[in-house]
Every structure is written in structure tokens, then in C-alpha cells.
Structure 1
Amino acid sequence: MTWLAAQPYYKVQREVSGLEQKTVVHDRTMYLYPDKIATERRQFPIGDVFDMSYRKMGGEGGMLYFHTKQGVYSYMVKDDPRNFIGAFKELVAGK
């Protein structure tokens, strides 16, 4: 199945080994399909997502929020997700 839009996001993980603490950044991509949104670990059926919003944080990037039947999920993004949100809103408006 071909995706309609893609949005890079990242996850920050702290690893502690012995006396050392290390921060690891995992770059990932979420995809908007006609019937779902897929991230690295989750899939959201389009019917379960009510809305998306974005809040800019600091100098660059911010948080992309999915408002779903199961609650609000947040994803850290470096790039403005305006196109991804627009593609989602266009998709649900057509249903």
C-alpha cells in the first residue's frame, strides 16, 4: 500500500551503563496511509484519530500530537509537520 504523506520524528532514549549515562537519538518516520497512520511502534486506524495538532518548542522543532479514541499521543519532530497534518485533514474530510 502506498503512503500519502511521511513525517520524520525522533525518540530520545537515555541509557545507563555502569557509571555512564548516554543519550541516544533514534530518527524515525511516520506514514499516513488511506486507512491508518503508522509509526515505529504503533498503528492508528484513521477512524480512531480525531485530530492532529502541533506545538512549536524552543528554537527548532516541537511536538506533534495525535488526538485519538485511546488518548493523546505525542511525537517530537524537528521539521514543521504542516504538510502531514494537511494531508490527514484532507483525507478525513473526503470520508
Structure 2
Amino acid sequence: MKDEHRKIMSAVSYYKTERTIDGNQQHYTKKQYDIYLYEDKILTGNRHFSLEHVNDVSYRPISDAGLLYLHTNQGVFAFEVDVDPAHFIKSYKKLKNSIK
């Protein structure tokens, strides 16, 4: 869900594990999506956050992956990532500080 008319400031991939049941067996599928940081918003696979409604972005490593957190006025949203999203967080903080 990219916005082709605006410049992407940063992006990071995240994963969602979906569970399906077929007959008597459970199947897990890991799907990849992207989070895009624009000058005025953050877009995920199925959500849109105006940058003014994002209060912070943080990261917490866990075992073989990590969780990227978007702290918003709608709550905290967690995204499973398999790389350190430091570049994404740095871009967000630089952009947010330039708006203040």
C-alpha cells in the first residue's frame, strides 16, 4: 500500500504469522509486509497513521526476532521484525523533531 506521489523517508519489513486449519491440521504461514515512513504519515500493510498521532517508535529484541512498536493516540501497535529497525527509528525521530 505505497503512496506513489510522496517520497518514502524510510521503510522496514515486518511479518505476520497466520494460522489456518485444514481438516484436522493447523498450518502456519509467515507473510511479509512493509511499513513506510513518509513526511506526514506511517503506512503499514493495513493501517494508516498520521505522523501527528504517532508519539514514539521503539524496538525490543526477542529471541530470533524483535518487536517494533508504534506508540499512537490509538494505542500501541507491535510489528514482528527480523532485523534491527534502527534506521527506521532514527528517520522517524529526525522527522518528528523537525516538525516540532
Q: State the TM-score bracket (shorter-chain normalisation).
A: over 0.9
Unaligned runs of 5+ in 2: 1-5
Structure-to-structure mapping, 1:30-41, within 5 angstroms = 30-41=35-46
1:46 paired with 2:46, answer no
TM-score by length of 2: 0.92
TM-score by length of 1: 0.96
Unaligned runs of 5+ in 1: none
Determine which of 64, 70, 80 is the counterpart of 1:76: 80
RMSD, aligned α-carbons: 0.6
For the residue of structure 2 that corresponds to 1:41, the secondary structure is: coil
For the residue of structure 1 that corresponds to 2:14, the secondary structure is: strand
Runs of 4+ in 1 over 4 A off after TM superposition: none
Aligned partner of 2:15: which letter?
Answer: Y
How many residues matched? 94
CA distance in 2, matches of 1:16, 1:2: 40
For the residue of structure 2 that corresponds to 1:88, the secondary structure is: helix
Q: CA deviation at 1:17?
A: 1.4
Identity of paired residues, percent? 38
